C-alpha cells in the first residue's frame, strides 16, 4: 500500500490505463486485493465504471476472476456504482452472467440481491438460463432470492433487454 499511497499523494492519474485499457482498479479487483480496492475507491477520481478495451468494468473483472475476497470487494464497489449492476461488456455479458458461468455462488447471490438480472441476453442471445452446468441448483436458489418482480410495462420494446416485441418475440419481463 506504500506505493499506492505515494502515487495518490503525488496526484498520479488513478484512472491511467494499461495497453488493454484496464485501470489499477481492474487489476486490484482481478487479483482479489480487497484493501487496495478500498483504498482506490476512497479516491474521488477513481472511476468504478471504467471499461477496458473488451468493455469490461471492474465489476466484470470481479465476476470473471472470482476469489475468496469477491463478496468483500463487491460490497466495497456497491456504494460507488450508482446502481449500475448490469453493465454489458462487448460480448453482451453481464457481471452476473460471468459469475454464474464461473460457479461463484456467493458472488451471484450478492449481485442478485442488489439488482442483478439473470435473463439479460448476451450478443449470442444466451443468458444465465442457457448456461450448461452440472446442476441448476444455484439458478433455482438465485431465482428464489429475487426481491421483487419487475412491473409490466406497456411498451414496444422490452425495458430490460430492448428487444422489439412482435409475432415471434412476445412481451416479457425479468
Q: What angle separates helix 34-41 from helix 24-31, to the nearest 10 degrees?
A: 150
Q: How far apart are CA 51 and CA 64, in angstroms?
A: 14
Q: What is the DSSP letter of 61?
A: H
**Which pLDDT belongs to residue 61?**
97
The model scores a pTM over 0.75: yes
| 3 state DSSP class of 71 | helix
**Which pLDDT belongs to residue 174?**
42
**Which pLDDT belongs to residue 156?**
73
| Residue for grid cell 454464474 | 100
Q: From 108, 100, 117, 122, select the one nearest 70 (Cα to Cα).
A: 108
The Cβ-side half-sphere exposure at 56, using a 13 Å CA radius, reads 24
Which residue ranges in the chain fall short of pLDDT 70? 134, 147-155, 158-163, 167-174
Amino acid at each position: 500500500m506504500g506505493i499506492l499511497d505515494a502515487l495518490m499523494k503525488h496526484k498520479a492519474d488513478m484512472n491511467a490505463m494499461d495497453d488493454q485499457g484496464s485501470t489499477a482498479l481492474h487489476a486490484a479487483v482481478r487479483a482479489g486485493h480487497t484493501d487496495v480496492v478500498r483504498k482506490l475507491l476512497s479516491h474521488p477520481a477513481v472511476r468504478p465504471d471504467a471499461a477496458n478495451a473488451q468493455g469490461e468494468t471492474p465489476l466484470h473483472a470481479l465476476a470473471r476472476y472470482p476469489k475468496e475476497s469477491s463478496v468483500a470487494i463487491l460490497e466495497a464497489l456497491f456504494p460507488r456504482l450508482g446502481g449500475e449492476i448490469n453493465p454489458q461488456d462487448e460480448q453482451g455479458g453481464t457481471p452476473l452472467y460471468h459469475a454464474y458461468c464461473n460457479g461463484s455462488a456467493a458472488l451471484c447471490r450478492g449481485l442478485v440481491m442488489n439488482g442483478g438480472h439473470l435473463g439479460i441476453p448476451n450478443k449470442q442471445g444466451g443468458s444465465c438460463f442457457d448456461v450448461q452446468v452440472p446442476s441448476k441448483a444455484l439458478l433455482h436458489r438465485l431465482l428464489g432470492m429475487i426481491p421483487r418482480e419487475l412491473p409490466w410495462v406497456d411498451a414496444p420494446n422490452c425495458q430490460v433487454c430492448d428487444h422489439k416485441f412482435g409475432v415471434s418475440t412476445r412481451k416479457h419481463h425479468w
